[in-house]
Structure 1
């Protein structure tokens, strides 16, 4: 597994109850951050965590207070395996507990009644966690379609599982309705979507009724360059590119180039792509565009991208 995707190690937790004078003073000074009741993290560690890592730490802390054969699952397992998330992480951990008669939720944890086959459980940081493929199927069952596809795209792209793996886990589910819901997300998922923004873009195009683009279409430039674009609508020669901005803000990490050089390279790339004989339109969008309902579809429609229904009726008429 991708070790770098896992959460901060639980040994960072200060495991105690709030009855120690030194602990009380440390909390008052702000040296410690309470994660859940009786579990604390030193602030110097907490402030280095991003949102996913903080939620993963909350999940580990909540798990440490539970007894019995509980397995971290759903969003908690997703955080440990490094799955991306659209929007904020939950404020409670998620576990599957085979000893429960019914599911229940408390201040820090949502406990799902059920069991997990041994082959779908792994150990990470000393706790049991649903495997990446089981985690992805649980998300396909429980999360909104947009979130499920984003997680599935990531797992397929990262090599955490294949579609055959997903369908094998799905086949064990007893509910036909549940299998149908999850199958829709699994079939739509595509390893060629390189980033969460591209995954969400694909879903919005689909929900907006647009024809499906070719993903990661490769173009050859006039001087031996090459480029793969996020989306290409062949019927109208329209290139679509999601710009997540990290290539500029964190250019040293991604390309080793200063931000101003990345901007220049991106401009040169776009210039020769626009002149390519197959390209007749070029559309860029950002996270801000994805957050406004209907904006992405309007941008692409303005560039001539047709609706799937128009393609269908055109073929039938001919």
Structure 2
């Protein structure tokens, strides 16, 4: 199978989404790709235990993408071998009344992972510069003191919000959170095919909403907002990765490889050594148990 360089997917310079491919050929059968994914995720699961025992880093994984990009199945397949006590998935929907009574980052801040644990954000704090930018009227629901009409949601407003998001991520990174941000880059044609499958396959009907078609008509607006967000907020401490998402097994494998290949570069993440007194008496503890 074709090897990958994870840096090929990292956004390190200004991009144009139209020039970024939504496909990547691993030059292998689907079954082989799925076997390789299983291999990588098992290694990820083992390394999760080391991160948990080490207890000094938290891991935040942010997953964004258009409707049908494969966010849910990505999470299911990549993290299947994780110990559930060490990972929490947060699916951020429309803010509740309680969430709207706080600043827009509050619900994300309280969902951050503890040291030694993983948090996956299925849709993220970036919804606040994506959906709200396509639909600026939503900002009025935040009841901000300096926003009285849609006209107040201007370029200066978005500049300030991007600064806040960058500051938020810089702060948590400086305090021990390793941040991964994955944009599942889907083509408009593939989204059409996946929406059709939702309609044609009874077991998938529940996933469809007429609102999906309304949002699809705003495709170009969303692409422009995504492009701007990716370019403004991909930083060395919180990089974005543009993942070709037209083929789900390939996208899952690439994400798993990026996670594993990046995390194992942290050479200080090792299991803690036993206390000298305990280590010196290991044989005695074994004998006590064997003699029961």
- Asked if TM exceeds 0.5, the reply is no
Q: TM-score, normalised by structure 2?
A: 0.29
Q: Which has the higher contact order (CA 8 A, sep 6+)?
A: 2
Identify the structure with the greater strand proportion: 1
Instruction: Name the larger-Rg structure.
Output: 1
Identify the structure with the greater helix proportion: 2
Q: TM-score, normalised by structure 1?
A: 0.27
